[in-house]
Amino acid sequence: MQILTGQVPTVDAFPDDLMFEDEDPGTVPERPSAAAVPWPILVVDDDEQVHAMTRVLLKDFEFEGRRFAIVSAFSAAEAREILAERSDLPVVLLDVVMETQDAGLHLVHHIRRDLGNRHIRIILRTGQPGQAPEREAIVAYDINDYKSKAELTAQKLFTSLVGAVRSWRDLVTIETLNQSLERRVAERTAELERQTALADGQRRFIENLVEMMPSPVWYKDAAGRYALCNRAFRELFPNAADGIEWSAGRRTASEPMPAGTGAFSFESSVEGPDGRTRELLVVKRPLTAPDGTETGVIGIATDITERRRMEHELHRLATTDPLSGAHNRRQILELLDRIVDGQGAGTACLVMLDIDHFKRINDGLGHAAGDVAIRRVVEEIRRQLRGSDQIGRIGGEEFAILLPETSRTGGAAIAERLRSGLAALAIELPDGRCFQLTGSFGLTEVRPLEDTVESVLGRADQALYRAKALGRNRVEAA
């Protein structure tokens, strides 16, 4: 299946004999309408329970009125056979360790290099993160996402699949449009070589067709001149026609400049004439003459700024406590887990903070005053912390503070500074009333590669309870 050089898969193109594993093989199901055909998701894993659990997690989810259907492969070899026969698979959920320790990673190379399939979105799932560390896997292999099996809840799996299906659909749509445009521009160029000029009617038709396209489209000849660019391109790059070259911005690590005549894509940040930065997905394809001489390049750019903004906002909402603006519980514990796994340098400390007598604030001044207190506490803590330190709200009036590359002695000094700052903090309410508060602090040193998240939290909690038992408004170390 040569996606870049052969037929481009369409969102609704499925084989007539398609049968999903949820169907009884002893019956002939009634073929659904195109709009109801499920999204086929290729699951490659040698554990049957992973296939069953994935099917259960996605059972009640739909995207654009279409459910998800699992296409199962229990080895990398079986996955190769399926991929050789089918071009309608938008996403593959791929295990790393199967027939061999890196069978999944070899399958990634097979998909990208041997099959030339740049459209299918590959989500690497592993129950053994040590076999393919996230950073090395993303740099060395052309994958689109990396997930631990343990972290893929139903909602996270659905969110990952929706993003991957959307990306696959966008790439297919862009490639289809690019091939159509390439064919028209190539026909026009060939005709210009055979004749001195096109007929006025034909030339106007092609130019008007390109001119009306909403995405920036251009053609550069072998000399680097913009021989053709539409209105959308001129609006985004008003100086390009004057010979000022457009810089491609950042190219994704997985999309190097290819040799030969194949299409290639990359993402780029550009500043428009209005001064706003825009994120673009750019697809280019070189044009060559019959003798192999390069005659130019055509390109089309799709504005993905809003999509990127939404992705950033979704990430912020997923990791931030809405009341305080600090990290939420899941995010701060994930940061602690990274330190425990040895992803930081040197020692680190965890400080647990509990606002003293917080119930009195809520009961005496109202819950609105309690909300104000939580926000002001976070503001004061952040004012005292270093740029590398992190604070997260564990729940209620309790907070966790991470101090990377900090010894126990240094952590105790920071915690004491935070305690003193809270004790001196005067909190004013909208009605003019003021109140003060104090905090109890429990400190422990983190031992990377020895501790667990639970053991670190346990020691910090014990120190915190001791601080409260000894009269509150104090720092105690485990």
Domain range enclosing 53: 34-156
Number of domains in the chain: 3
- Over the chain, what is the mean pLDDT? 81
- Best mean pLDDT range from 137-141, 184-188, 192-196: 184-188
pLDDT recorded at residue 71: 94
**What does the pLDDT read at residue 40?**
94
- Take residue 132 and report the two structure tokens written for it: 């393919």
Q: What are phi and psi of 153, to 5 degrees?
A: -75, 175
Which of 242-251, 454-463, 464-473 is least confident? 242-251
Residues 304 and 377 placed together within one structural domain of the fold? no
Q: How confident is the model at residue 23 (pLDDT cuts 50, 70, 90)?
A: very low
Q: Is residue 465 part of a domain?
A: yes
pLDDT, tens digit (0-9, with 9 covering 90-100), for 258-297:
555 578 888 888 887 778 888 888 888 888 888 888 888 8
pLDDT at 2: 30
Q: Is 243 a residue whose pLDDT tops 80?
A: no
DSSP-H helix ranges across 320-439? 329-340, 358-365, 367-384, 408-423
Note the pLDDT of residue 70.
92
> Residue 234 maps to which CATH number?
3.30.450.20
CATH assignment of the domain containing 332: 3.30.70.270
Ranges 19-28, 112-121, 357-366: which has the least confidence: 19-28
Tokens of 85: 């026969």
Q: What is the pLDDT of residues 306-337, one digit of tens each?
A: 888 888 888 888 889 999 999 999 999 999 99
Q: Which of 2-6, 58-62, 79-83, 207-211 has the highest mean pLDDT?
A: 79-83
Does residue 397 carry a catalytic annotation?
A: yes
CATH code where residue 67 lies: 3.40.50.2300
Enter the DSSP assignment of 440: E
Query: Is the predicted pLDDT of residue 410 greater than 90, yes or no?
Result: yes
Rounded CA-CA distance 388/371 in Å is 26
* 340 & 420 share domain: yes
- pLDDT at site 390: 95
H/E element, 305: helix 305-319
Amino acid 327: pLDDT = 94
Please tell me the predicted confidence (pLDDT) of residue 414: 96
Residue 348 has pLDDT above 70, yes or no: yes
Residue-wise DSSP of 127-149: S-GGGS-HHHHHHHS--SEEEEG
471 found inside a domain: yes
Q: Are 250 and 354 in a shared domain?
A: no
Question: Is 379 inside any structural domain?
Answer: yes
Strands (E), 155-241: 217-221, 226-229
pLDDT value of residue 207: 75
Percent of the chain with pLDDT over 90: 35
Across 446-450, average pLDDT: 90
Decide if 428 is inside a domain.
yes
Residue 238 is predicted with a pLDDT of: 80
Confidence check: pLDDT of 179 > 90: no
Q: Which tokens is 462 given? A: 């014990």
Question: Which tokens belong to 334?
Answer: 């994930």
Q: Are 468 and 398 in a shared domain?
A: yes
In a domain, 171, yes or no: no
pLDDT at 374: 95
How far apart are the C-alpha atoms of 229 and 226, rounded to whole Å? 7
**Would you tell me how many other CB atoms lie within 10 Å of the CB of residue 323?**
13
Q: What is the mean pLDDT of residues 165-169?
A: 87
Rounded Cα gap, residues 265 and 283, in angstroms: 4
Mark which of 263, 287, 308 sits at the end of a domain.
308
Which residue type is seen at 148? S
What angle do helix axes 154-194 and 200-212 make, rounded to 10 degrees? 160
**Rg of the Cα atoms in the chain:** 29
Last residue of a domain, one of 308, 329, 350: 308
| Angle at which helices 367-384 and 358-365 cross, to 10° | 140
* One domain for residues 220 and 272: yes
Same structural domain, 299 and 330: no
pLDDT higher than 60, residue 17: no
Give CA–CA dist 224/297, Å, rounded: 9
Q: Which listed residue (151, 245, 380, 397) is catalytic?
A: 397
In a domain, 18, yes or no: no
Same domain, 295 and 338: no
DSSP letter assigned to residue 8: P
Tell me the C-alpha distance between 460 and 148, whole Å.
27
Tokens encoding 229: 């660019």
In a domain, 164, yes or no: no
Same domain, 211 and 119: no
Q: Is residue 75 domain-resident?
A: yes
Instruction: Pick the closest to residue 75 from 111, 45, 114 (CA basis).
Output: 45
Pairing relation of β-strands 294-303 and 277-288?
A: antiparallel
Q: Are 253 and 295 found together in one domain?
A: yes
Question: Is there a single domain that holds both residue 236 and residue 268?
Answer: yes
Same-domain status, 364 and 469: yes
Percentage of the chain surpassing pLDDT 70? 81
What CA–CA distances, in Å, run from 113 to 10, 103, 106, 283, 407?
A: 21, 15, 10, 18, 48
My answer on whether 77 and 148 are in the same domain is: yes
Which of 459, 453, 163 lies closest to 311 in space, CA to CA?
163
pLDDT of 426? 92
Q: Work out the average pLDDT over 76-95.
A: 90
* End-to-end alpha carbon distance in the chain: 60
